[in-house]
Amino acid sequence: MTGKRTATSDLWWKNAVIYCLDVQTFFDTDGDGCGDLVGLTEKIDYLAGLGVTCLWLMPCYPSPERDDGYDISDFYAVDEKLGNLGDFAEMLRTAHDRGIRVIIDLVVNHTSHLHKWFQSARKGRDAPYHDYYVWADEKPENEAKLVFPGEETSNWAWDDQAERWYFHRFYSEQPDLNTANPAVRDEIAKIGAFWLALGVTGYRIDAVPFLLEEVSGVAADGKDPHALLRELGTYLTRRRGDAVLLGEVNLPYDKGIEFFGEYGDELNMMFDFRLNQSMFLALARRDVAPLVKTLKELPEIAPECQWTNFVRNHDELTLDQLGDAEREEVFAAFGPEEDMQVYGRGLRRRLPSMLDGDDRRVRLVYSLMFSLPGTPALFYGEEIGMVENLDVEGRLSSRTPMQWSDGPHAGFSSAPEGARLCRPLPEDHAANVADQRRDPHSLLNWMERLIRQRKECPEFGWGKLELLHTKGAVLVHRCVWDGTAVVAVHNLGDEPATVTLPKDCTEFRDLFGDDDAEPGEKITVEAYGFRWFRAGGHH
């Protein structure tokens, strides 16, 4: 396919505010200790008030929970502990009524080993679904990179019933699908169309490079691996003009950019892992140089495509694109103890813990992330400064229940006191929505304002980036779009800093206060301070 598949779309994702949550840890209404879709529906107004325009739901499908719901046993249903399809449809209706689009995880690089396809596939080479998976008679010598090092020792697992080896990138309970098989591609398209018909607006596609990888035969049989993404995008957009595909692609820019497609006809959005990791290195050093280097390397992308920026996603804070010495710097600054780290490549802490609860630095980081070129994404609880629970193993340490009040179970569940929750709360769960709503100076109220301001500055989502000051601890950048401009100033250092504003504007209107400035004026930015200005008369 040539041309652009977004002609019927309004490119709403260019200026969205995305909020990621796991239904089971958000709000429990039936007292079983597990969040549910009815609970999420009750909290849609909270999300609308926060300013969220796109809700991203982690998997809601039936699952044996070997990988927190990413091991899926039925792509066409809702896990019964969360509710049913009727509850899902009611949640969607409520979200749409409040102006919030909903995207869900599309996890089709593998299934659970309990999925009916794999159960059929195990019955032998002639079984109906045998070719849905990747098999070998002899265990191959060449191993692919393990996603969970230390938890799995090989990408190949023996199946006694099939009497063959099957391939898996993740846990052995998650056999990889053979995406070279046209029947598998048809299934993926049907899954996508099913949830669009229910009312979702698109998908966050899990582990995109693994979906297309050569070991499943996609490249080996002469097919273009990226054709799968182009076909899927075209197919889904025909069914819904504003459908979006947001991809998890943690690769260097020169490889990652291929997933947008030559004409912007593959993924619409991609998480910017490189920028995220550079930001944390810059924070650790209190020096903007790593961030500036990455911003200068940002490749040109098609106008309908977009980077998605984040402070913390739902996995570990991965640092795998940094050099070994750089990674050690970030570890030393933000997670020096072994139980704060995971897989030798990342941190399993939330931001307030990493910054020792320094509210100035927490706000600085979110101001910076929201002003970098792209679309901002929040992980639930970030808006109130939730911390992790390191007693919960692995990546799940940051997926603890949402903290709504200072009541039992932090207001998350109506279960009796002492009852077991789906996941234990952190020992320090004082941060909560109810208290912060009453405090005009709280992180929550500030975050609402930040989100509102970001939505009023489409230049950050649509505009051309200009780096104005890139020395030491201070970054000044400008985004210009359609004849308008915004300027953001961030001081990563622990000392006040002075910078000179550009002269090629008529005025600088302060967007977070009343401290306007003149063109060419020297302004002082406090330690860990930040300023946003609307630049009038930019030319």
Domains present along the chain, CATH in parentheses: 12-109+182-455 (3.20.20.80), 116-167 (3.90.400.10), 464-536 (2.60.40.1180)
Average pLDDT over residues 434-454: 98
pLDDT at 460 over 70: yes
What percentage of the chain carries pLDDT values higher than 90? Answer: 92
pLDDT band at residue 144, thresholds of 50, 70 and 90? confident
Encode pLDDT of 235-264 as tens digits. 999 999 999 999 999 999 999 999 999 889
Contact 12, 462 (CB under 8 A): no
Instruction: Give yes or no: 248 in active site.
Output: yes
Q: Are strands 156-159 and 164-167 parallel, antiparallel or unpaired?
A: antiparallel
pLDDT at 39 over 50: yes
Q: Which amino acid is at 24?
A: Q
Which of the residues 206, 287, 316, 388 is marked catalytic? 206
CA–CA distance, 226 with 254 (Å, rounded to integer): 15
Average pLDDT over residues 514-525: 97
pLDDT at 7 over 60: no
| Predicted pLDDT at 223 | 61
Q: CB burial class (10 A; 0-12, 13-18, 19+) of residue 61?
A: buried
Contact 23, 40 (CB under 8 A): yes
Average pLDDT over residues 159-166: 97
pLDDT at 2 over 60: no
Instruction: Give yes or no: 138 in active site.
Output: no
C-alpha closest to that of 229 among 251, 211, 255, 204? 211
pLDDT at 54 over 50: yes
| Predicted pLDDT at 212 | 84
pLDDT at 511 over 50: yes
Encode pLDDT of 119-128 as tens digits. 999 999 999 9
CA–CA distance, 312 with 318 (Å, rounded to integer): 9
pLDDT band at residue 8, thresholds of 50, 70 and 90? very low
Average pLDDT over residues 362-378: 98
| Predicted pLDDT at 213 | 75
| Predicted pLDDT at 10 | 81
Which of the residues 28, 36, 67, 248 is marked catalytic? 248
| Predicted pLDDT at 274 | 98
CA–CA distance, 451 with 460 (Å, rounded to integer): 12
Query: Is the four-CA dihedral 431, 434, 435, 439 of positive or negative sign?
Result: positive
Average pLDDT over residues 152-180: 95
| Predicted pLDDT at 539 | 61
Encode pLDDT of 379-418 as tens digits. 999 999 999 999 999 999 999 999 999 999 999 999 999 9
pLDDT band at residue 218, thresholds of 50, 70 and 90? very low
| Predicted pLDDT at 136 | 94
CA–CA distance, 156 with 142 (Å, rounded to integer): 10
| Predicted pLDDT at 452 | 98
